[in-house]
Amino acid sequence: MVRPSRTNPSTEGVNLPPTCLLCQMVIPSTYDTGIADTKEEDQLLKDRQPWKSYWRSSHKHVMVPSARVEEADFGDLPRLWSCFCRAIIKESDTKYRLTGINMVQHKASDPYNFPTDPNVARIGGRRNGRCDPQIFTSCMAARPGRQPVKYKGKRLGFIIHAHCWVLFGRTIETPLIEINLERFIKALRSHWRKSKLKDLVDDKFYLTPGPNQVSPELQLGCDIHRNPVIVPVLQKVITDALNRDDFSTHPQACFDRLPAELTHLISEWVLPIEYTSDDVRNMRNMLLAFGWDLPGWFWRRRLAEDLFFELEVLRKSCFPPPAWMKLQMMRLDVMYLTFDRTWYPHSGLANRKRILESIVAIKNGLGIV
């Protein structure tokens, strides 16, 4: 009997629906997300912004920079983000490599294809279309736990949402290119083995989700199909806050001389930790009138800023004074937005929080503080 080569393992015969190794969501096919596997629908996908300019009629698919997908808002198809994913290919027991981005197109007997270059993404292309082996690499969808016996001798790929990978990169200070992929995979698999979250690979609910369905048995408390990185409403709040200049008038100088302890006591009374939307409005009016610069601890007790990496846009910028006032107004805008308990569970922010809880555990496994 001839054994499969380790340097060129087989990918024929078996496959499983892929599960994102970071968020444990079964990655749906484009068909499940509203893009049917037809020539017309494929063309519709390729004509979407922000990659329309890359499309040429003679091409079967579009190859674009990966950032075009990672930064995309899919508008009328908000769940489309969940079809785009990368793979961490296991080449040997000690060597792993990151691929580019592709969309999942389910067919049980076929391997999954990904661009070899991690800096590119493939858009479009029919399900049964062939991929150039010089540009793409194939793999089977690896499970977080023990692999099926039928996977022996086949090239495995641990698949991750393109946006979940971005979220991981935004959460750690270590550049993604410096992450030890072998340790990363081990930390993730160890985390999910210890987790009480069941394996979603065979959960048919996640393969064909309804418009706003959330699995009742998992009780995750959020819509897991929402993009955890691109939250359009939040982005608009941040942009509006950056462009607004409603504190251009000089505050009354007499309030500048109040002791810091007194300004903090007044602020905590106006905006308690368990605040309402009225409290947020009152706090805005007071800060605009008095011009106080409240310390970071005051805001961190009221707003989980680790959840909002968008705030770093202003923190790390070179805005002229009073940039600190812009940041305070921005914080209040975000607090007002997230106070809406009917919007929050169905937003990408709730899904982001769920995924970040796993990322914290993974960071510990990687030795990253």
Q: Please, are residues 198 and 218 in contact by the beta-carbon 8 Å criterion?
A: yes
- For the ranges 194-208, 239-253, 342-356, the lowest mean pLDDT is seen at 194-208
Kindly report whether the peptide bond that precedes residue 175 is cis, defined as omega within 30 degrees of 0: no
Beta strands in 152-285 (DSSP E): 156-161
CB 30 within 8 A of CB 43: no
CA 253 → CA 257, 282, 292, 330, distances in Å?
A: 7, 20, 11, 24
Q: What is the mean pLDDT of residues 106-116?
A: 75
Mean pLDDT of 48-71: 79
For 4-8, 67-71, 88-92, 261-265, which range has the lowest pLDDT when averaged over its residues? 4-8
Rg of the chain, C-alpha, whole Å: 24
Positive or negative, the Cα torsion across 104, 107, 111, 113?
Answer: negative
* Reported confidence tier of residue 220, pLDDT bands at 50, 70, 90: low
Residue 1: the pLDDT is 38
**pLDDT, tens digit (0-9, with 9 covering 90-100), for 152-209:** 778 888 999 999 999 998 888 777 777 888 888 888 888 887 775 444 433 333 334 4
| pLDDT given at position 62 | 83
Q: Looking at residue 265, what is its pLDDT?
A: 94
Q: pTM of the prediction?
A: 0.80
Helices (H), 208-317: 232-243, 260-270, 277-290, 296-300, 312-315
CA distances from 346 to 242, 245, 328, 338 (A): 26, 31, 26, 11
- pLDDT tens-digit series, residues 247-280: 555 555 566 678 889 999 999 999 999 998 899 9
pLDDT surpasses 70 at 363: yes
pLDDT attached to residue 190: 82
Token representation of residue 26: 């079964």
Residue pair 80/34 in contact (Cβ under 8 Å)? The answer is yes
Q: Residue 113: helix, strand or coil by DSSP? A: strand
Contact 361, 191 (CB under 8 A): yes
Q: What is the mean pLDDT of residues 324-352?
A: 84
Looking at residues 106-130, what average pLDDT do you find? Answer: 75
Q: What is the mean pLDDT of the chain?
A: 77
Rounded Cα–Cα distance for residues 287 and 274 (Å): 19
Predicted confidence at residue 16, as pLDDT, reads 66
What pairing do the DSSP bridges indicate for beta strands 156-161 and 136-141? Answer: parallel
The pLDDT assigned to 297 comes to 92
User: Domain limits of the chain?
Assistant: 31-225+360-366, 232-338
Specify the pLDDT at position 66.
92
CB-based burial, 147-185: b 16+ in 10 Å, e otherwise: eeeebeebbbbbbbbbbbbbbbbebbeeeeeebebeebb
Q: Looking at residue 282, what is its pLDDT?
A: 95
Residue 44 in this model has a pLDDT that exceeds 50? yes
Q: Are 171 and 363 in contact (CB under 8 A)?
A: yes
Tell me, what's the pLDDT at 135? 85
C-alpha–C-alpha distance, residues 347 and 206, integer Å: 18
Q: Provide the percentage of residues in the chain whose pLDDT is more than 70.
A: 73
Query: CA torsion sign, 89 to 91 to 92 to 95?
Result: negative
